Every structure is written in C-alpha cells, then in structure tokens.
C-alpha cells in the first residue's frame, strides 16, 4: 500500500501500536493516523513495571514512549480509554466502545496480550493481583512493603522480577511454582538453579512442584494460597504470573487466520491485505528457525511496528532481526538472544558461581540461542552468530580465555 492519503487505524496503544504510529510519520506517511487504546494513558513501556519502576527507581513520566503532546504535534489522533469492539472487513470499519465507527484504509492490530487468570476459588479476593498494566503496577506497589508477605504464583521471568522488586520494597516473598524448577518453560536447568540460589540469598523462599488450588480470604481480602498437597501458604497479597494470552478475539471474530495469535507474513500482514498485526498478538514467521511463533518482547513489538510501517508506506521490508529480550533481577542482567529450538547440546561458558556466565544452546555447531548473565559480549556475539547461521568451534566457545570476538570471527 502506498496511498499517502490512506487513513491508518491502529487498535491498541501499547508498545507496538505507539511505535507504529511514530514510525509511519517518520517514514513519511501523510494521511490521517488514528491510535485507539483502551488504557487511559499514552503508549508506555511495560518492562520497568516489574523492575525499576516497581522498586521506585523510575518515575511514571519515564515510562511513556513519547510525551502526550507528541501525538497531536504529529497529527496522530490518539483516542485513550476507547475499546475497539468489532471489525467489518467488507466495509473497512472498526466499531468502538463509545458507539462510533472508524473507516480505515489500513488497519493495524496491536492489541497485545493479557495476563492469564487462575480459574480457582478465591480468584476475585482483594489482593489477588496481576502485573500487565501501569494500573496493575500502581496497585501492587501500594500493597507490598515491610511487614507484608507477597506470594508470587508462577516462577517465570515476570514472577521472579516481582519477587526481586518485592524484596527491594521490604516485603517477605514466597514464590509458588507448579513445575519442579523455575523458568521451566523458558530457560535451561543451569539458569533455573542459578536464579533460585540468587533469590534465596536475597531471602525469597520457594515452593516448587506446588500447584495453587485456591486463594483463602477473610472479609474479602486474600490471606493465603492453598496448594494441591493441602497446605496453605499465608500471605497478604498475591501476584499471579502464570503467562499471557494474546488479545486476538477481534481478529477471530472477523475471520482472520488465527493460530497462537493472529497469523502474519514477513511484512506483518494478516490474511486480509488491508490488515496488519504486530507485537504480542502476532503469530509470525521466524525464518532463521524456519517456523512460526508468537513472541512477547519489546524488540519483537518494535520489529513488527517497523514491518507494518514499511509495508504501508511502500518501503522495502526491513531485514529480519534475531529475537532477543532481557530480565533484570537484583544486580543480574540477563540477556537472551534467539530461541532454543531443536537443541542437541548445551554449553556453559564461564562459571555460574562468579555471577558472570553464558549458556549457549546448540544444534550441531550452530548457535540457536544464548542466555548471558552479566556478559554483554557473549550476548552480542552470540546474537550475531545466531543471525549469521555460522558454524562455531565449540571448544573455543567453551573457553572463556578466548574472546567472543575471536570465537565469532
């Protein structure tokens, strides 16, 4: 699509939607842009909600992707607190929660994902919280502190970040994880054990192999989490961090192809040529792994925004990127590049006890992914090797006395 007067409607004013609006203008789109978001504030970054912001090390203004004025100054009609309720693909109309409709020439779905709720008794008690939005984070920050016990259900990255921030705020923290190890879905055993030990050193306690079956309460307020083995873990507040599900209902209802998210091509285009889907809601191709999947990360949101903005403004599709993400806990910076698909060997470079090491996931002599703790060169060079699909000498990779630059050369 290269119609410079086209009306682009973006549904979802999160990281991907906000970035797409800004990029469309940056790439010279002259037509109207409408950015519709159900949250009351302009697009903001979510990562600090479980990290610096939650610990009180960043203020609310620093979360915003752009100041509110940016949107009006760039002719972007930002409509907060409005939900898109339906899409009519024949008439190219989006229905909104205020009863109005928006006609579009190009539509970008950037509706993100939502925290998965636990369908167990007591889930509606006061103090049972999630962490997806700035409003969720405000509530959590107001609830945890000295003298309080926070139970975190789910030992994934967000759960562990909340645990670390909870400790920084002075709360007692217990993490309840259904699997036998932390980060079971996303990281290898080396990393699981490493993070468990680090959290324990900071006073976090763990219940592994522990399924939450009910939240207990008194006067409508949560007081504990009952586990499948019958024990109740007392607490003053709970954060449920058991994953996120794509907000793909609008796409399903209007008949777009949907798998584990809205199916798109390398230009982020859906099965309807006038509709794109980007960010957490998109089920997208990843040629370096020769497969499709859905990702939840800021770099993925930005890449999708770039792909859609390029396609809509008639630019060539941007070069493919190696997926990456990060997590901050205490003084640990974890950077992850790639995904550990079809891995037949795991190689640890450096000594985990030093708090500075990297885990390489290999398929033959190809690096599929790297998890680097406080090790930026391993992350950067590992990412490069993943993207280049260049075979690596495993003995040299395992030897920290040989620099990553030399290993990757």
Ligand X SMILES: Cc1cc2nc3c(=O)[nH]c(=O)nc-3n(C[C@H](O)[C@H](O)[C@H](O)COP(=O)(O)OP(=O)(O)OC[C@H]3O[C@@H](n4cnc5c(N)ncnc54)[C@H](O)[C@@H]3O)c2cc1C
Shortest distance, position 113 Cβ to ligand X, whole Å? 6
Shortest distance, position 181 Cβ to ligand X, whole Å? 21
Binding status of residue 247 toward ligand X by CB under 6 A: yes
Binding status of residue 301 toward ligand X by CB under 6 A: yes
Beta carbons of 396 and 378 less than 8 angstroms apart: no
* CB-nearer residue toward ligand X: 162 or 310: 162
Binding status of residue 38 toward ligand X by CB under 6 A: yes
Binding status of residue 359 toward ligand X by CB under 6 A: no
For ligand X (CB under 6 A), the number of binding residues is 37
Binding status of residue 280 toward ligand X by CB under 6 A: yes
Closest chain position to ligand X (CB): 14
Binding status of residue 226 toward ligand X by CB under 6 A: no
- Tokens coding 266: 């390398």
Binding status of residue 34 toward ligand X by CB under 6 A: no
* CB-nearer residue toward ligand X: 186 or 213: 186
Binding status of residue 271 toward ligand X by CB under 6 A: no
Shortest distance, position 230 Cβ to ligand X, whole Å? 32
Question: Angle formed by the axes of helices 189-201 and 157-168, to 10°?
Answer: 10
- Interface segment toward ligand X; rule CB under 6 A; list 142-150, 255-263, 286-294, 319-327: 319-327
- Interface segment toward ligand X; rule CB under 6 A; list 165-173, 203-211, 277-285, 385-393: 277-285
Please give the Cα distance from 178 to 266 (Å, whole number).
36
Helix (H) or strand (E) holding 197, with range, is helix 189-201
Using the Cα atoms of residue 186, residue 188, residue 190 and residue 192 in order, give the sign of their dihedral. Answer: positive
- Per-residue binder mask for ligand X (CB under 6 A), 78-117, x = binder: -----xx-------------------------xxxx----
Q: Give the max Cα distance, the chain.
A: 65
Please give the Cα distance from 22 to 86 (Å, whole number).
25
Helix (H) or strand (E) holding 26, with range, is helix 15-26
Shortest distance, position 370 Cβ to ligand X, whole Å? 15
Beta carbons of 188 and 371 less than 8 angstroms apart: yes
Binding status of residue 246 toward ligand X by CB under 6 A: no
Say how many Å lie between the first and final Cα of the chain, rounded: 41
Beta carbons of 234 and 226 less than 8 angstroms apart: no
- Per-residue binder mask for ligand X (CB under 6 A), 46-85, x = binder: xx-xx--------------------------------xx-
- Interface segment toward ligand X; rule CB under 6 A; list 14-22, 27-35, 189-197, 313-321: 14-22
Task: Tell me the helices (H) and strands (E) count for the chain, helix number first.
Answer: 10, 27
Beta 33-36 vs 172-177: how paired, if at all? unpaired
Using the Cα atoms of residue 377, residue 331, residue 57 and residue 237 in order, give the sign of their dihedral. Answer: positive
**Cα separation values, 305 from 200, 300, 345, 361, Å:** 39, 9, 34, 29
Which of 27, 293, 326, 341 lies at the binding interface for ligand X (CB under 6 A)? Answer: 326
* CB-nearer residue toward ligand X: 13 or 204: 13
Find, among 209, 184, 191, 137, the residue nearest to 329 by Cα: 191
* CB-nearer residue toward ligand X: 161 or 224: 161
DSSP conformation letters of 35-85: EE-SSSS--B-SGGGGTTTTTTSS-GGGGBSS-HHHHHHTTEEEETT--EE
Binding status of residue 338 toward ligand X by CB under 6 A: no
- Interface segment toward ligand X; rule CB under 6 A; list 22-30, 35-43, 329-337, 376-384: 35-43
Which of 9, 24, 102, 158 lies at the binding interface for ligand X (CB under 6 A)? Answer: 158
Catalog residues that contact ligand X under the rule CB under 6 A: 11-17, 36-39, 46-47, 49-50, 83-84, 110-113, 131-132, 158, 247, 250, 279-281, 296-299, 301, 325-327
């Amino acid at each position: 699509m290269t119609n410079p007067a086209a009306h682009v409607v973006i549904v979802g004013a999160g990281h991907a939607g906000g970035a797409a609006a800004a990029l469309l203008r940056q790439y010279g789109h002259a037509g109207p842009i409408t950015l519709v978001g159900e949250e009351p504030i302009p697009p903001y970054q979510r990562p600090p909600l479980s990290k610096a912001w939650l610990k009180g090390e960043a203020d609310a203004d620093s979360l915003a992707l752009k100041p509110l004025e940016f949107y009006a100054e760039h002719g972007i009609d930002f409509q907060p607190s409005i939900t898109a309720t339906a899409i009519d693909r024949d008439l190219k109309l989006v229905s909104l929660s205020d009863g109005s409709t928006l006609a579009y020439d190009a539509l970008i779905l950037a509706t993100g994902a939502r925290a998965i709720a636990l369908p167990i008794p007591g889930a509606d008690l006061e103090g049972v919280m999630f962490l997806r939005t700035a409003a969720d984070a405000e509530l959590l920050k107001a609830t945890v502190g000295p003298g309080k016990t926070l139970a975190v259900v789910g030992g994934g990255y967000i759960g562990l970040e909340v645990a670390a921030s909870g400790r920084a705020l002075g709360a007692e923290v217990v993490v309840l994880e259904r699997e036998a190890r932390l980060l079971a879905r996303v990281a290898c055993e080396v990393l699981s054990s490493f993070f468990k030990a680090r959290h324990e050193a900071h006073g976090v306690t763990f219940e592994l192999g522990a399924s939450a079956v009910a939240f207990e309460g008194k006067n409508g307020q949560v007081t504990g989490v009952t586990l499948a083995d019958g024990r109740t873990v007392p607490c003053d507040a709970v954060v449920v961090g058991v994953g996120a599900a794509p907000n793909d209902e609008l796409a399903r209802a209007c008949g777009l192809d949907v798998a584990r998210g809205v199916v798109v091509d390398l230009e982020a285009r859906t099965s309807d040529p006038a509709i794109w889907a980007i960010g957490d809601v998109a089920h997208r191709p990843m040629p370096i792994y020769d497969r499709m999947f859905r990702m939840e990360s800021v770099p993925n949101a930005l890449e999708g925004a770039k792909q859609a903005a390029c396609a809509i403004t008639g630019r060539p599709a941007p070069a493919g990127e190696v997926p990456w993400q990060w997590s901050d806990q205490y003084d640990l910076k974890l950077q992850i590049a790639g995904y550990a698909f079809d891995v037949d060997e795991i190689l640890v470079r450096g000594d985990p006890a030093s708090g500075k090491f990297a885990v390489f996931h290999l398929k033959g002599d190809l690096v599929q992914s790297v998890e680097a703790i406080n090790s930026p060169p391993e992350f950067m060079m590992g990412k490069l090797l993943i993207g280049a699909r260049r075979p690596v000498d495993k003995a040299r990779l395992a030897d920290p006395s040989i620099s990553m630059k030399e290993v990757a050369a």
